[in-house]
Structure 1
Amino acid sequence: MIMTKIIEYTAKGKTLYKFNFYAGKDELTGKKMQVRRAGFKTKKEAQLALSRLEYKKESGEFEPLANRNITFETLALQFMDAKKASLRKSTYLVQRNMLNRILASLGNLKMKNIRGYHCQNAVNRWSKKAPATVSNIKILANQVFEYAIKNGYITKNPMDAVIMPKKPAKKRENNYYTKQELNEFLTFVKQDRPSLYPLFRLLAYSGMRIGELLALTWDDIDLEASTVSITKTLSRVNDEGRTTIEDTKTKAGRRTISLDAITINILASYKQEQSKRLFSLGILNTLPKPLIVFDRGIGSSYSKAQGERFVRVSDIRRYLNSMYKRMPKDFKHITLHGFRHTHATLLIESGANIKAVQQRLGHANINMTLGIYAHATKIMENEAINGLSLYMEN
């Protein structure tokens, strides 16, 4: 262990004290790290300052740091590149888009200069512009700082000082149809766009995610056994909107579910019509097998690239929004995910077992199913009390 000497010297006729503290060796450059201090009026003051430095060294604050001038952006891009192989392509795209928001706030700052107030100001901005995803954005930024610590660029995480803004009050969840509303919706679709009626029927009567449904090929549907196997999902993988097929998000997402007889008959008829259409276009025997259930619809849309042959989620969302404009103004609007919520709610209202609902929806965590269960049972409770009131009055 190198002992640090406190040296007495004279400056402008005054006796002062100084020392040269050895803080360790930079493993990257091989150079010694020296901390020089001078101008102490007494030896006791110099000794106190030296003790503080020795404590910092013991606690690891003088660990050799790699390239202390590196910016947040440079390191964040390194982090995302390292992380890419462990993520689904669609998840990587989502996180890469979140990173763009982070870089707008912190990207130009040097890692060594970022303080808690920089992070707090950034989180406050994200909270205003992206309240629904601010927590996820903050988590990603935090991961970049932790990566920086593990790789020797900084010693402390400035995100630790952040106080998360209060979340806005959550709007009441109403993204589902009642039995009557669903029947009215499907009746309208059947008349307005018959070619899409099978898609919306299957979406509402299976509880599948829209990405799972659009990834289906005919070998996934067993018309004789009245089942559909869900093993993959359609994902957007770049900013241009190109799509690809990926495995389901979780192991629980891989499942085989039963379909009702009416839906099976609708799909069987749709399959026959699809074959006739593709045959008339002269491409039935040229397309890769198995055929996609819900394809782009016309021959010119097909490409050798598998992903380009699939209907995109944005295509269906666009149709849904345009259809709402043609429906009565007071008809409820729900999202594509709302059909999944509708299916789960109607299952529970019809008396389905909560575990069966979880397995059918492919929920990895039963708490997700319980949230829908609590909502559905509240509806049932209201109907029950209204029924009691009518019973007592008659």
Structure 2
Amino acid sequence: MATVQKRGDAYRIRASAGYDATGKQIMRSMTWRPAPGMSAKQITKELERQKVLFDEKTKSGHHLDGNIKFKDFAEKWFEDYGKEHLRERTYYRYKELAERTYTAIGHIRLDRLQPHHLLEFYRQLAEPGVNMRTGGGLSPKTIKHYHTFISSVMDRAVKWQLIQDNPCKRVDAPKVEAHEIDCLDETEAAQFMRCLQDEPVETQVIFSLLILTGMRRGELLGLEWTDIDFDNCTITIRRTSQYATGRGIYTDTTKTEKSKRTITIPVELAALLRQFRAWQGERRLRLGDVWCTDWAEHPRLFCQWDGKPMHPNTPYQMLQKFLDRHGIRRVSLHSLRHTNATLLIGSGADVRTVSSRLGHSQTSTTLNIYAHQLQSADKAASEALADTLIRKRPG
């Protein structure tokens, strides 16, 4: 039967998990801490319940404790927690980060993982040569992703009472410098739209949607024809299309619940979408049985040549070629989302409307990202009011 030892304001519960090959008894332990405000009687009753539960778990082999190594626990965390609670994109991203993390700290027991282990790992990630593409170290943003992954695992270990605290909380997360928003100004955006008219219809639709709606890349590629309401000129965003190594292209949920939204589009864009749908239908008829039937029930707007969903890297490659052809300075795909937001703000749209169209979970997110643009718009509004009421007084 499990035994109890009081240690400060907590209780240490120990139980036998049998014997190892040498005949040595295997002991497991856990710490239980009463909730604030519990009476002595309640503590006694709950402590007895915890003893019985812990004893049963230990004897059945279902008990974990801080002795488990980080890699072993993380794998269990992926299986028992990650698959159900993480967004699919986050799950596969963490899987990608896991390999390098296991090499550095996978052998360390949870109860012995200390801040200096993490700091050394982050230092190694920043060393030249770690990034195979650039030859330099990983960016602070990527290193912060590693920190978030490790912290998520350790947080769950605390909640499952394997350890008392999360060492990641005692380490400052790598600082990510705030980058100035890169987007097209009004003149560049107008040139962008003029040049689009000389492009194939698919190119026109992809970049018109991005710059006129501000939707994210994954949201764009997740669009299905049933999401387009031609009569009311609206698009409803319900899902995203993502890619992960070993998983391929898959459908995922939107970034947040607020990201599920309906956006009004200009009638000109609705007409262009009709033209694009007709073009896609003709291509599908020409290909016949070659056209992929796996996605027949959920036909995507943007596909590969054979009807399979478009790879997430394709729009970026298309954008760079388009910009080079027309002598427009290179910007990222996400810059078109920023362009949409800044032009809306410049046109006088209120923050709540901009936030809603972008699918931000909170208006404060919009305020933080576009603080400079909002300040400029506020100054312009002040000047316009002064022109009307002060500088243009009759007489």
TM-score, normalising length: structure 1 = 0.71
Instruction: Determine the structure 2 residue equivalent to 1:341.
Output: 338
The structure 1 residue matched to 2:152, chosen from 139, 143, 147, is: 143
Deviation at 1:200, TM superposition (A): 0.8
Instruction: Determine the structure 1 residue equivalent to 2:143.
Output: 134
Instruction: Determine the structure 1 residue equivalent to 2:134.
Output: none
Name the CA shift for 1:183/1:102 in 2 (closer, same or farther; >3 Å). Answer: same
Deviation at 1:169, TM superposition (A): 4.1
1:281 partnered with 2:287: yes
The structure 2 residue matched to 1:28, chosen from 14, 17, 21, is: 17
The structure 1 residue matched to 2:78, chosen from 75, 80, 87, is: 80
The structure 1 residue matched to 2:198, chosen from 191, 200, 204, is: 191
1:293 partnered with 2:290: no
Instruction: Determine the structure 2 residue equivalent to 1:255.
Output: 261
Instruction: Determine the structure 2 residue equivalent to 1:267.
Output: 273
Compute the RMSD of aligned alpha carbons. Answer: 3.4
The structure 2 residue matched to 1:368, chosen from 365, 369, 374, is: 365
Instruction: Determine the structure 2 residue equivalent to 1:19.
Output: none
Which piece of structure 1 moves more, 199-208 or 318-327? 318-327
Name the CA shift for 1:242/1:272 in 2 (closer, same or farther; >3 Å). Answer: same
Deviation at 1:205, TM superposition (A): 0.9
Aligned-partner residue type, residue 125 of structure 1? Q
Distance in 2 (alpha carbons) for counterparts of 1:247 and 1:148: 27
Instruction: Determine the structure 1 residue equivalent to 2:211.
Output: 204
Deviation at 1:234, TM superposition (A): 0.9
- Retained in 1: the 8 A contact 2:141–2:176? no
Aligned-partner residue type, residue 192 of structure 2? F
Instruction: Determine the structure 1 residue equivalent to 2:116.
Output: 117
Name the CA shift for 1:69/1:376 in 2 (closer, same or farther; >3 Å). Answer: closer
SS of the residue aligned with 1:26? strand
Deviation at 1:155, TM superposition (A): 4.7
- Retained in 2: the 8 A contact 1:341–1:372? no
Distance in 2 (alpha carbons) for counterparts of 1:145 and 1:286: 43
Instruction: Determine the structure 1 residue equivalent to 2:89.
Output: 90
Deviation at 1:163, TM superposition (A): 4.2
Distance in 2 (alpha carbons) for counterparts of 1:356 and 1:156: 42
Deviation at 1:252, TM superposition (A): 1.3
Name the CA shift for 1:67/1:223 in 2 (closer, same or farther; >3 Å). Answer: closer
- Retained in 2: the 8 A contact 1:294–1:310? yes
Unaligned runs of 5+ in 2: 4-11, 20-24, 28-57, 127-136
- Retained in 2: the 8 A contact 1:120–1:163? no
Deviation at 1:293, TM superposition (A): 1.7
Deviation at 1:184, TM superposition (A): 1.6
* Residues 248-303 of structure 1 deviation map (CA, whole Å, 9 limit, x = unaligned): 2322112112111111111112222222222233359995245322222x3xx24x
* Residues 222-254 of structure 1 deviation map (CA, whole Å, 9 limit, x = unaligned): 112111111111122x30461122232322112
Indicate the percent of aligned positions where both proteins have the same amino acid.
26
SS of the residue aligned with 1:183? helix
Q: How many residues align?
A: 327
Aligned-partner residue type, residue 136 of structure 1? H
Q: Please identify the structure whose Cα radius of gyration is greater.
A: 1
Deviation at 1:170, TM superposition (A): 2.9
* Residues 149-173 of structure 1 deviation map (CA, whole Å, 9 limit, x = unaligned): 45565455443443445x3643322
SS of the residue aligned with 2:180? coil
Instruction: Determine the structure 2 residue equivalent to 1:47.
Output: none
Deviation at 1:221, TM superposition (A): 0.8
Distance in 2 (alpha carbons) for counterparts of 1:245 and 1:200: 21
* Residues 184-216 of structure 1 deviation map (CA, whole Å, 9 limit, x = unaligned): 223334325443111111111112112111111
TM-score, normalising length: structure 2 = 0.71
Deviation at 1:365, TM superposition (A): 1.0
SS of the residue aligned with 1:191? coil
Name the CA shift for 1:27/1:377 in 2 (closer, same or farther; >3 Å). Answer: same
Distance in 2 (alpha carbons) for counterparts of 1:241 and 1:285: 22
Name the CA shift for 1:121/1:221 in 2 (closer, same or farther; >3 Å). Answer: same
Instruction: Determine the structure 2 residue equivalent to 1:316.
Output: 315
Name the CA shift for 1:154/1:191 in 2 (closer, same or farther; >3 Å). Answer: same
Matches within 5 A, 1:153-232: 153-164=162-173, 167=175, 169-174=177-182, 176-232=183-239
Instruction: Determine the structure 2 residue equivalent to 1:52.
Output: none
